[in-house]
A and B are shown apart, each in its own frame.
Chain A
Amino acid sequence: NAGVTQTPKFRVLKTGQSMTLLCAQDMNHEYMYWYRQDPGMGLRLIHYSVGEGTTAKGEVPDGYNVSRLKKQNFLLGLESAAPSQTSVYFCASSYTAVLNTEAFFGQGTRLTVV
């Protein structure tokens, strides 16, 4: 049982480049989330999805786009990377809106923008 899988695990980008982070879950969860974690700060929600074909903005959505074309996948895109987007990115999924259920997290993607 793989749970939540993130690819890639590490990436270095140049300023202005674009990339897509992939999150895949095999638990048939409806809800999926993208967070970023920076030193000295807690996890901050970027975007989330409450089901296939739906997405919504979190706390810090600027500079990111997401898509949920398939229930099991949640993609996070950076159209024009900036050094401020250097961070560790975590994907999570849950059966419901984290009410009476737990969220499962991936192992993270460490992104450096130079």
Chain B
Amino acid sequence: DAKTTQPPSMDCAEGRAANLPCNHSTISGNEYVYWYRQIHSQGPQYIIHGLKNNETNEMASLIITEDRKSSTLILPHATLRDTAVYYCIAFYAGNNRKLIWGLGTSLAVNP
């Protein structure tokens, strides 16, 4: 599975868009990009995933570059409850079902 690189921490003002980058330059063509977040010490929560096209759901948008070497998670109107650690994961199930987690980005949404 491809290694992902994320900044260790970011800040965002409440009500503004939070743009969280992720680098996955070694991603292969059949690997999906997943985003999860972990609020305080709770269990991780799924946010969104994508392969090639940009994706949007009720929580966030995922923008994947055309060469798929990087992606950005966008929280359009960040709230204080979005303060969490955000994990970007590149994963292909295939015969290897090991989802490799990095250290993520600690996002602080400030009032």
Binding site for B on A (CB under 8 A): 4, 31, 33, 35, 40-45, 48, 50, 56, 58-59, 88, 90, 92, 96-100, 102-108, 110
Contacts and interface: CB of A to CB of B under 8 A. Distances in A.
Contacts of A45: 98-99
A56 B34 CA distance: 23
A98 B34 contact: yes
Contacts of B103: 40-42
B86 interface: no
23 contacts: A31-B97, A42-B100, A42-B103, A42-B104, A45-B99, A48-B97, A58-B98, A90-B43, A98-B34, A99-B32, A99-B91, A99-B93, A100-B32, A100-B49, A102-B46, A102-B49, A103-B46, A104-B46, A105-B43, A105-B44, A105-B45, A107-B43, A108-B43
B34 A42 contact: no
Given A100-B49, A108-B43, 20 more contacts: A35-B101, A41-B103, A42-B100, A42-B101, A42-B102, A42-B104, A58-B98, A59-B98, A88-B41, A90-B44, A92-B44, A97-B93, A99-B91, A99-B92, A102-B46, A103-B44, A103-B46, A103-B99, A105-B45, A107-B43
Contacts of A31: 97
B32 A43 contact: no
Contact of B43 (A96, A97, A102, A106): A106
A4 B43 contact: yes
A96 B99 CA distance: 13
Contacts of A105: 43-45
Nearest to A102: B46
A22 B1 CA distance: 29
Contacts of B91: 98-99
Contacts of B104: 42
